[in-house]
């Protein structure tokens, strides 16, 4: 059982053609949350199947395992995430494939929403209305906050902002969904709440500043007053 994580800002945030004040989220990452023992040996293994499709084992910028494939000028990364308590980070093995440990994956798998996508598959064939499972807003926000606490990546802060503003069921519903994860004991939520206290205290805190940097680039002395105002609006 798998659930896509990085696709939440795209597929759970309304009409893709609707006007937005923020840039639309763009990612080449495929982050998949999976349960341990994903294939049960029925159809080969994760590693063998990915190798057959031209993916090679590599590492991400933080040293974690990931699979990558070059398609034209683009490098497509695929990261597998799994939950293995009591461990909260580090690598694990599912089938014969290395994965990254991430608390909250079980909650993401249990509540994932089924959506339909259209695109070209790895064989070059057009696939229309293909159902995939996408992580819901509550577990997504919990895990994104944990990810931001670990690496303080500007894109993580931006994804949190975009999801809260444009979630197709409304901002209030997204906040409520995160609260439900806290009440349900999602193991990601302790670190997520600590991240909110540490990095989201006010508009000058680390996360808001990095979200604005993701949109407009790093602030530089002498930038225009209009750009400073737009940066502050993001923060």
Q: How far apart are CA 8 and CA 143, in angstroms?
A: 12
- Please give the pLDDT value at position 115: 93
Q: What is the pLDDT along the chain (235 residues), one digit of tens a residue?
A: 677 877 899 899 988 788 888 888 767 678 888 876 555 555 568 888 899 999 999 998 888 899 999 988 889 899 999 999 999 999 988 878 899 999 999 999 999 999 999 998 888 899 999 999 999 999 999 999 999 999 999 999 999 999 999 999 999 999 999 999 999 999 999 999 999 999 999 999 999 999 999 999 999 999 999 999 999 999 9
Q: Whole-prediction pTM value?
A: 0.90
187 in Cβ contact with 131 (< 8 Å): no
Q: Could you give all domains of the chain from N- to C-terminal order, each with its CATH number?
A: 2-200 (3.30.460)
121 in Cβ contact with 127 (< 8 Å): yes
- Please give the pLDDT value at position 3: 75
- Contacts of 214-219 with C-beta under 8 Å, sequence gap 24+, read 214/154, 214/155, 214/157, 214/158, 215/22, 215/23, 215/158
170: left (phi over 0), alpha (psi -120 to 50) or beta: left
């Amino acid at each position: 059982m798998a659930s896509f994580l990085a696709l939440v800002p795209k597929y759970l945030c309304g009409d893709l053609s609707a006007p937005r004040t923020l840039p639309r989220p763009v990612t080449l990452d495929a982050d998949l949350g999976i349960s341990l023992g994903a294939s049960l040996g029925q159809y080969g293994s994760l590693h063998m199947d990915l190798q057959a499709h031209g993916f090679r084992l590599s590492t991400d910028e933080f040293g974690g395992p990931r699979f990558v494939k070059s398609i034209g000028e683009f490098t497509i990364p695929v990261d597998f995430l799994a939950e293995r308590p009591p461990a909260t980070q580090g690598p694990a093995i599912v089938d014969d494939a290395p994965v990254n440990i991430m608390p909250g994956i079980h909650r993401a798998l249990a509540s994932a929403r089924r959506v339909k996508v259209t695109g070209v598959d790895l064989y070059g064939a057009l696939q229309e209305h293909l159902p995939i499972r996408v992580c819901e807003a509550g577990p997504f926000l919990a895990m994104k906050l944990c990810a931001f606490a670990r690496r303080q990546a500007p894109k993580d802060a931006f994804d949190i902002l975009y999801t809260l503003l444009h979630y197709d069921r409304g901002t209030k519903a997204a906040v409520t969904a995160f609260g439900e994860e806290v009440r349900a004991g999602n193991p990601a939520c302790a670190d997520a709440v600590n991240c909110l206290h540490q990095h989201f205290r006010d508009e000058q805190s680390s996360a808001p500043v990095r979200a604005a940097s993701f949109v407009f680039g790093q602030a530089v002395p002498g930038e225009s007053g209009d750009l400073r105002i737009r940066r502050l609006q993001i923060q």
